[in-house]
Amino acid sequence: MTENPPPPSGKKRLFLRSWGCQMNVYDSARMADVLAPLGYAPVDAPEGADMIILNTCHIREKATEKLFSELGRLRQLKQAREAEGGEMVLAVAGCVAQAEGAEITARAPYVDIVLGPQSYHKLPEMVARAARTGRAVVETDFPVEEKFDFLPEVSAPQGITAFLTIQEGCDKFCSFCVVPYTRGAEYSRPVAAVLAEARKLVGQGAREITLLGQNVNAYHGAAEEGGEWGLAQLLRALAEIPGLDRLRYTTSHPRDMDEALIAAHRDIPAVMPFLHLPVQSGSDRVLAAMNRGHTAKEYLALVDRLRAARPDLALSTDIIVGHPGETEADHEATMALIRRVKFAQAFSFKYSPRPGTPAAGAPHRVDEATKDRRLQEVQALLRDQQAEFNASLTGRTVPVLFTGPGRQAGQLSGRTPWLQPVHVPGSLSLIGATAPVFIRAGNPNSLAGELAQQEKTAA
């Protein structure tokens, strides 16, 4: 069992566990920020913690079951702490909390706080209410503007690479997705707030920032001079921040990839040539059932326009197999689209119903054995494409942003513009710098290289 070291004098131990998307990791960091004035300091293990927050995700399969399994284990820690005369505040946050708040308090009455993704700024008040009343405190409303208005300005440094949420919620209502029900309607942070946080992150040492949103390229933030900025205009302003070398954004929807954003990939050197663009299926019939709002032909045409603007652009995507009603012909259409695009990375999943979503009650379910086979076929093709893309960099010299030490002594770890991890021998003094690296080997999941001379840089 992992033991936490004693906290700094006067501090309480706060353990945060995040599941799911990078936005949850960002949200967990902000929860730590709002609890810091109450004396909470983050620790690495739940044992001996004064407060534990489970920040949940409803996207992954069996998310609710995994939560209750973890709560059962933590209940024992909470009871042991109370038997010793101490206290442990146990909180459930995130999308499962939003969707299953009543079930959580019914099945796990020992949970002190249940809060949805838009209520993190209320945590200090909720901690006080739980202590005062001795009853569970539940906050699952959607005051999305308040969340960003009331979160503290100062946050802990994230490191060389940082994440910045600029948009939340989604108005697309894909048939399989719970995001509109757990994160609410689309909301974009004002331009000034985003730029201020980005400057702060750079001042704390960040050299690469990834902009986050459930539908990030739907960004339409209010500008100080009036009107709204789209993501392309925001990227141009962020690229002017001294010391900010790289920009990325995720997750995008094909319907919101406008010409201005395509041009930003062409014109802004800081925007990395890597784009996550979920397609979900290659079948028009399934895409319509998913309510995606685009066809396979339209997706492929968009890919062609992006690659024409930025020839070295690499793409990643999401694929769902076995959506209700998916036939073998639909599956083959997905395989054909994957072969046509040649993805550098991808995330692929079997369809699993999410309560309250339209697809959850749809007829013509695909049996598990068929979903398993289709997923294996999709993943085998995607693995081959990723390995082929990595191997294509062998013998090239590319710029690598070094983010930290490698696993071995005297080794550095970094990322290429296409997000691949790279390991090279080198001095720790290079952490935070971008340097040319000659790629000796392109492995399936990473690259191996050595530092090269600046004049050899080819990418």
pLDDT along the chain (459 residues), means of 10: 52 88 81 86 90 83 80 91 88 85 88 85 83 82 58 68 91 89 85 95 95 94 94 98 97 96 98 97 98 97 98 97 97 98 95 87 94 97 96 96 90 95 92 95 90 54
The H-assigned helical ranges of 18-88 are 22-35, 63-83
Give the pLDDT of residue 26.
81
| DSSP type of residue 91 | E
Task: Supply the pTM of this predicted model.
Answer: 0.78
**How far apart (Å, rounded) are the C-alpha atoms in residues 352 and 190?**
35
Instruction: Residue 296: count other Cβ atoms within 10 Å of its Cβ.
Output: 20
Tokens (6 digits) for 108: 């796990």
- Could you say which of 3.40.50.1100, 3.50.40.10, 1.10.1740.10, 3.40.50.12160 is the CATH number of the domain covering 12-146? 3.40.50.12160
Give the pLDDT of residue 121.
78
Any residues with CB less than 8 A from the CB of 8 and at least 6 apart, and which? 41
Give the pLDDT of residue 90.
94
Question: In this structure, are residues 80 and 38 in contact, taking their beta carbons and an 8 Å threshold?
Answer: no
- By CB neighbour count within 10 A (0-12 exposed, 13-18 middle, 19+ buried), where does 445 fall? exposed
Which residues make up each annotated binding site? 21, 57, 95, 170, 174, 177
Domain boundaries, the chain: 12-146, 397-456
Give the pLDDT of residue 458.
39
Give the pLDDT of residue 309.
98
Which residues make up each annotated binding site for [4Fe-4S] cluster? 21, 57, 95, 170, 174, 177
Give the pLDDT of residue 354.
83
Domain 397-456: what homologous superfamily?
Nucleic acid-binding proteins (2.40.50.140)
Rounded to a whole number of angstroms, the CA Rg of the chain reads 23
Report the Cα 443 to chain-centroid distance in Å: 24
**How far apart (Å, rounded) are the C-alpha atoms in residues 112 and 126?**
9
Give the pLDDT of residue 459.
41
Question: In this structure, are residues 272 and 248 in contact, taking their beta carbons and an 8 Å threshold?
Answer: yes
Output helix, strand, coil percentages for the chain, rounded to the nearest 5: 40, 25, 40
Give the pLDDT of residue 448.
93
